[in-house]
Amino acid sequence: DVKVTQSSRYLVKRTGEKVFLECVQDMDHENMFWYRQDPGLGLRLIYFSYDVKMKEKGDIPEGYSVSREKKERFSLILESASTNQTSMYLCASSLFPEDSPSPYEQYFGPGTRLTVT
Amino acid sequence: DQQVKQNSPSLSVQEGRISILNCDYTNSMFDYFLWYKKYPAEGPTFLISISSIKDKNEDGRFTVFLNKSAKHLSLHIVPSQPGDSAVYFCAASSAYGNKLVFGAGTILRVKS
């Protein structure tokens, strides 16, 4: 079974703090993704990476950065947390579609509920 | 601009009846569609998918129908069970990328 783990289930931070969210997958997947989930807005892509040290902006990258130094690990960084970044953050991983028996299927971690006060 | 739309925020169904969740998309380049289920405090889990070369895919109680001309897909759950109560997300991808575009989700409540 694919396992995607996230460093924290719940996190409370203060405005202006630098926040690190860590994600690790154990299935040697090339692609990794960071989303945020907000009521009525679904899952919105923040950043994704298709290889070590490679990153691409998603739909809402402002206020975030990412790091992928190892294939299995993808970190999301909030440089200076703000209250509008209070959300559920979800990490996911996947194979390249041509390598997968289930193309485009992404495997998700349990999520981190971040509250910024 | 929402490329994938789930226009029903919620749906309530009696146990044993059919649940039909709908999804519309605007991007004609999308050629692969997936449904995910999400329980509170858990990550989404993959349910079923369909390629644009098909118009139907079935897996047990779950069937996805695709109408390419209408840019519409639907997920049918028969019979619905209380454990199916969750948020259902529709997602789409194109052959030109590894990304998924998600809809806003539909909350399904199955009443016993």
Q: What is the pLDDT of residues A47-86, one digit of tens each?
A: 999 999 899 999 999 999 999 999 999 999 999 999 999 9
Q: What is the pLDDT of residues B94-104, one digit of tens each?
A: 866 678 999 99
* Domain span holding position B89: 4-111
Write down all domains in chain A, each with its CATH number in brackets. Answer: 4-108 (2.60.40.10)
Q: What is the structure's pLDDT at A19? A: 97
Q: What is the structure's pLDDT at B96? A: 64
A88, A104, A114, best to mutate vs chain B, most B CBs in 10 Å: A104
- Return all residues near A59 (Cβ < 8 A) that are at least 6 apart: A44, A45, A46
Is the pLDDT confidence value at A107 over 80?
Answer: yes
Contact A43 B32 (CB under 8 A): no
Q: What is the structure's pLDDT at A105? A: 87
Is the pLDDT confidence value at A46 over 70?
Answer: yes
Is the pLDDT confidence value at A95 over 90?
Answer: no
Is the pLDDT confidence value at A5 over 90?
Answer: yes
Which backbone phi and psi does A83 adopt, to 5 degrees? -60, -30
Number of domains comprising chain B: 1
Q: What is the structure's pLDDT at A2? A: 66
**Is B11 at the interface with chain A, CB within 8 A?**
no
SS3 string, chain A, reads CCCEEECCCEEEECCCCCEEEEEEECCCCCEEEEEEEECCCEEEEEEEECCCCCCEECCCCCCEEEEEEECCEEEEEECCCCHHHCEEEEEEEECCHHHCCCCCCCEECCCEEEEEC
Residue numbers of chain B with a pLDDT score lower than 50: none
Q: What is the pLDDT of residues A14-34, one digit of tens each?
A: 999 999 999 999 999 999 999
Strand-pair category, B19-25 with A112-116: unpaired
Q: What is the structure's pLDDT at B95? A: 66
Contact B98 A111 (CB under 8 A): no
CATH number at residue B88: 2.60.40.10
A-contacting residues of B 62-91, CB under 8 Å? 89, 91
Q: What is the structure's pLDDT at B97? A: 67
Q: What is the structure's pLDDT at A78? A: 97
**Is B106 at the interface with chain A, CB within 8 A?**
no
Q: How far is A106 from chain B (nearest CA, A)?
A: 8
Q: What is the structure's pLDDT at B13? A: 98
